[in-house]
Structure 1
Amino acid sequence: MAEIRNCPSCGEFFNYTGVRDVCYKCAQREEDMYQIVYRFLRKRENRAATVDRIVEATGVEEEVLYKWVRKGRLHPAVFPNLGYPCDNCGKITNKGKLCQDCQDDLKSELRTFEAAQEFREDIKRREKGTYLAEQKD
């Protein structure tokens, strides 16, 4: 079911149905900007353009470019210098929410945490062990 939301770009009310996150007018404006960017990137000499170069040449905001890469409208496989900021450190990545360095750090911290947890559980098991008292005859 649709709900009424304010467009994050222009502030107008629109029916949010889950398809678009902006109003119709802003979606049309984004589509026009996308066509400009896509025409720019289709030229062989511009395929390796960085985000800064695309912003400079087309006037499209960085955040909009990042949104298109996240949604898969612009593919880093075709345009190798495109990406979006890592949610943790801000380094440019082109898949997932975290860059490879942050993923590796997180995995390392998880391994350390799991090892510490296993160590604590092992100590609890040892302390809980059964003690037998010697019988004297």
Structure 2
Amino acid sequence: MAEIKNCPNCGEFFNYTGIRDVCHKCAQKEEEMYEIVYRFLRKRENRAATVERIVEATGVEQELLYRWVRKNRLHPALFPNLGYPCDNCGHLTTKGKLCESCQNELKSDLRTFEAAKEFRENVANNEKGTYFVNKGK
């Protein structure tokens, strides 16, 4: 069932069905901007353009470009300098929420945590061992 929301771009009310996050008019404007960006990128000399260069040449907002890359409307495999910011450090990435560096750092931290947890469990188990008491012979 649709719910009524305000468009984050223009403030108009629209029926939100889960497909688009903006009203129909703003969605049409986004499609027009997408066509401009895609035509720009299809030219051989622009395929390696950076996000900043695309914004400068087409006038599209950076966040809109990032959203298109996240939703795979613009494929970084075809346009190598495209990406979106890592949720942790802000460097451009092409898949997931974290860049390769942050993923590796997180994996390393998890391994360290697991090793420390295992060590603490071993120490706790060893402390529960049997104690021998010498009864004064």
Residue 129 of structure 1 and its aligned partner are, at CA, apart by: 2.1
> In structure 1, the residue corresponding to 2:5 is in which secondary structure?
strand
Residue 125 of structure 2 is matched in structure 1 by 125
Residue 132 of structure 1 and its aligned partner are, at CA, apart by: 5.2
Residue 59 of structure 1 is matched in structure 2 by 59
Q: TM-score, structure 2 length as denominator?
A: 0.94
2:34 matches 1:34: yes
Letter in 2 for 1:71: K
**1: CA distance between counterparts of 2:8 and 2:125?**
55
Residue 116 of structure 2 is matched in structure 1 by 116
Residue 49 of structure 1 is matched in structure 2 by 49
**2: CA distance between counterparts of 1:126 and 1:12?**
66
Residue 134 of structure 1 and its aligned partner are, at CA, apart by: 7.0
Letter in 2 for 1:130: T
> In structure 2, the residue corresponding to 1:4 is in which secondary structure?
strand
Unaligned runs of 5+ in 2: none
Residue 70 of structure 1 is matched in structure 2 by 70
RMSD: 1.6
Letter in 2 for 1:34: Y
Q: TM-score, structure 1 length as denominator?
A: 0.94
Residue 5 of structure 1 is matched in structure 2 by 5
Residue 103 of structure 2 is matched in structure 1 by 103
> In structure 1, the residue corresponding to 2:126 is in which secondary structure?
helix
**1: CA distance between counterparts of 2:84 and 2:41?**
17
**1: CA distance between counterparts of 2:99 and 2:36?**
28
Structure 1 residue runs of 4 or more that deviate by more than 3 Å after TM superposition: 130-136
Unaligned runs of 5+ in 1: none
**1: CA distance between counterparts of 2:129 and 2:73?**
60
Residue 130 of structure 1 and its aligned partner are, at CA, apart by: 3.2
**1: CA distance between counterparts of 2:96 and 2:66?**
12
